[in-house]
Amino acid sequence: MFGPTNVFFNLSGSIAPPDVKLNLGGDFIKESTATTFLRQRGYGWLLEVEDDDPEDNKPLLEELDIDLKDIYYKIRCVLMPMPSLGFNRQVVRDNPDFWGPLAVVLFFSMISLYGQFRVVSWIITIWIFGSLTIFLLARVLGGEVAYGQVLGVIGYSLLPLIVIAPILLVVGSFEVVSTLIKLFGVFWAAYSAASLLVGEEFKTKKPLLIYPIFLLYIYFLSLYTGV
C-alpha cells in the first residue's frame, strides 16, 4: 500500500499560451497573447492597419495633373501655327493647363534676368493681369472664352520670343537685322495667340482684340531687351 507520504506529483513543465486564430478571407492568422489581451480590453483598434488607397500611390506628375506629352504637343502647335501643318491647334485653347504656360513664362523670365531677379515677378504679374485684360476685352466684345484659356494661350505664345532670344544675342550689333528679328518674333507670338483667341464670333471686331495682344507681346519683348 502507498501512504499519503509516498504519493508524488510531477508538476514541472510550462503552460503554453492559448492560440487564437482569426479567419480573414479564408486564411487563418495566429495572434499573439499580447494581441489577444489588447482585443479583450477593447484596444483592438490600435492594431488595425488601413488598406493602401490606390489614389495615394499615383506618380507625382499625375498628382499635379502634369501631362508632358500634352504640353509638348501644345508647344509644337504654338511654334508652328500654320494650318497647313495639320496640328489640332484648338487643343491649346479648348484644353487649357496651368503648368505648361507657367514653365514657359518662368523660362522667359530666366533669360530676361540680366541680374535683376525682380524681373521674374514682374513678368509673371504682366502675364496674369495682361491675360485678364485680354479676357475681359474678349468677353465685352462677345467672345465665349474662359480666363484659364486666355492665360494658357498667352503663356504658351511666349515661345516665339524665347526662340528669337539667342538669335538676338548673335546679331545684336546689327541694328537693322536685330529690329527685323524682333518684329518677326512679336508678329509670330501675336499671330499664335490671336489665331487661337480671336474666333469667328468677333466678326468685324477682330482688330479690337488683335491690337492689344500685339501690344502685350511688344511689352514682353521690351522686358527682355531692356528697350
pLDDT digits (tens, 9 = 90+) for 51-70: 555 555 667 667 767 788 88
pLDDT of residue 198: 81
Q: Which residues pair with 21 in a beta bridge?
A: 30
* Selection from 132, 155, 161 nearest residue 71 by Cα: 155
pTM value? Answer: 0.68
Q: 200 pLDDT exceeds 80? A: no
Could you identify the residue written with the cell 502647335? 77
Phi, psi of 44 (to 5 degrees): -65, -20
pLDDT at 206 over 90: no
